[in-house]
């Protein structure tokens, strides 16, 4: 990969990854407001906004982060399977993206319920804090791995070097 292409891909990867973290933080804030609010309209609005942020910001950023991460790993000296930190980041990103894609239909279903139900029935909806909190934690772990880059070659890299 040429230096200018590497810089471009790094910029794309960082933008997608930081965007993903920011969007999950916004989603979590909306979830907290849905839990804490006494207003049925606020709960309804929070779930509708969570669905929109989920499908139109979080999902595209997750997919972009995953794909650009693969390009960065394969196109640089780090490799995808050479270092443990890259492999762990890849696996955590793949798992987080998979769980996100499996969870979003549930968010849409709850948002549809919030749109159509009576204000009294909105009290039990909650705010999806567990999923958003775990997602944020996983994304922060991935970020720390990518900043600190702990040493350690995988067995695959050791065989390849020999």
Round to whole Å and give the CA distance between 92 and 100. 12
At residue 118, the pLDDT reads: 87
At residue 146, the pLDDT reads: 94
Per-residue pLDDT tens digits for 1-36 = 899 999 999 999 999 999 999 999 999 999 999 999
Which ranges constitute the DSSP H helices of the chain? 3-36, 40-53, 59-75, 84-116, 129-148, 155-161
Q: Model-level pTM greater than 0.85? A: yes
With a pLDDT cut of 90, the percent of the chain lying above it is: 83
Average pLDDT over residues 100-116: 96
Per-residue pLDDT tens digits for 90-102 = 999 999 999 999 9
Predicted confidence (pLDDT) at residue 161 exceeds the cutoff of 70: no
Predicted confidence (pLDDT) at residue 162 exceeds the cutoff of 70: no
Chain mean pLDDT for the chain: 94
Round to whole Å and give the CA distance between 45 and 149. 41
Per-residue pLDDT tens digits for 48-98 = 999 999 999 999 999 999 999 999 999 998 999 999 999 999 999 999 999
Q: What is the Rg, in whole angstroms, of the alpha carbon atoms belonging to the chain?
A: 19
């Amino acid at each position: 990969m040429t230096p200018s292409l590497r810089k471009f891909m790094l910029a794309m990867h960082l933008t997608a990854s930081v965007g993903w973290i920011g969007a999950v933080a916004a989603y979590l804030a909306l979830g907290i407001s849905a839990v804490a609010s006494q207003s049925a309209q606020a709960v309804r609005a929070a779930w509708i906004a969570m669905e929109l942020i989920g499908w139109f910001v979080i999902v595209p950023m997750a997919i972009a982060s995953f794909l650009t991460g693969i390009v960065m790993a394969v196109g640089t000296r780090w490799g995808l399977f050479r270092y443990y930190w890259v492999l762990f980041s890849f696996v955590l990103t793949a798992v987080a993206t998979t769980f996100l894609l499996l969870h979003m239909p549930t968010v849409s279903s709850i948002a549809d319920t919030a749109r159509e139900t009576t204000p009294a029935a909105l009290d039990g909806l909650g705010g999806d804090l567990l999923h958003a909190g775990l997602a944020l934690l996983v994304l922060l772990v991935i970020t720390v791995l990518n900043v600190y880059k702990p040493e350690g070659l995988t067995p695959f890299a050791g065989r390849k070097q020999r």
